[in-house]
Amino acid sequence: MPIPSIPRDRSLTYGLVESLGQLIVTGEFDARPFPTEGELSRRHGTSRSVTREAVKMLTAKGLLQGRPRQGTSVTPEEHWSLLDPDVLRWLLERKFSLKLLAEFTEMRLAIEPAAAALAARRADAPALANMRAGFKRMVAAAKGEDETVAADIAFHTAVLAATGNRFFAQLDPLINTALRISIRFSNRIKGRAAGISQHEEVLNAVLAGDPGRASEAMRALIAEVLELIAAAGAGSRKGVRRAS
């Protein structure tokens, strides 16, 4: 596999993290040892200090481990930090799997209906304004006047922020990262953008201060995505059986 180029608009350290992270998740080092710092520096044209910092960052993300006298090696996938937005993005973009997308969507199903209920109880005027703005962007996107994925993400992250809960709010980068892949997938399968009426139901329930209705509306919205993933998986399995 060719070595991905390091983005020039980011720091050298983060660029090296990005390049190596992509290589790791796609299995580039499954059959061969992870390079030494010296080898990485020569191959990527970076200093030892930049390389060392990049390795530390990938270790913190659970992708690498260092052992005395054994050097640095790639860890088994079950040890990777899937809640790290970079790791999740690399997996979904570079090693896409319906199973991983389904697991993430199941996590959304556990989190976002609860967030919608909290938003219905607690959202203040600025938070409600952000939700309205996100929904207006979705309406505009349906007319070709905004970017579909960005508009959908703006609505969902506004719901998280509207909870008034700092832990929910800090899920923003994770939800933002994975929704970019999830929304593209579901829109491609449905052949249309996300349902405006479903998102409007969530918005109206929050505006009405109805936690139960808000939770159920969000649950229905995400459950539809899970159904699409399951149907796509079933279709893939049928295709494999036919091919064999």
Domains and CATH numbers, the chain: 12-79 (1.10.10.10), 96-243 (1.20.120.530)
- The mean pLDDT value for 208-219 works out to 98
Contact 3, 23 (CB under 8 A): yes
Q: What is the pLDDT of residue 70?
A: 82
DSSP H/E element including 202: helix 196-207
Q: What is the pLDDT of residue 93?
A: 81
Nearest by Cα to 179 from 153, 215, 216, 205: 153
pLDDT mean across residues, the chain: 87
Contact 181, 93 (CB under 8 A): yes
Q: Is pLDDT at 141 greater than 50 in this prediction? A: yes
- The mean pLDDT value for 38-61 works out to 94
Q: Is the dihedral of CA 159, 163, 164, 169 positive or negative?
A: negative
Nearest by Cα to 55 from 68, 66, 45, 44: 66
pTM, to two decimals: 0.78
Q: Is pLDDT at 54 greater than 80 in this prediction? A: yes
Query: Quick one: residue 73, left, alpha or beta (phi over 0 = left, psi -120 to 50 = alpha)?
Result: beta
Residue 64, strand partner residues? 74
Contact 58, 24 (CB under 8 A): yes
Q: Quote the percentage of the chain above a pLDDT of 70.
A: 89
pLDDT band at 8 (very low <50, low <70, confident <90, very high): very low
Q: What is the pLDDT of residue 75?
A: 95
Tell me how far apart the alpha carbons of residues 160 and 167 are, in angstroms, rounded to a whole number.
9
Tell me how far apart the alpha carbons of residues 112 and 99 are, in angstroms, rounded to a whole number.
20
Tell me how far apart the alpha carbons of residues 34 and 97 are, in angstroms, rounded to a whole number.
24
Q: Is pLDDT at 239 greater than 80 in this prediction? A: no
- The mean pLDDT value for 55-67 works out to 95
Residue 232 buriedness (CB in 10 A; 0-12 / 13-18 / 19+): middle
Q: What is the pLDDT of residue 34?
A: 95
pLDDT band at 190 (very low <50, low <70, confident <90, very high): low
Q: What is the pLDDT of residue 238?
A: 57
- The mean pLDDT value for 141-167 works out to 93
- The mean pLDDT value for 61-71 works out to 90
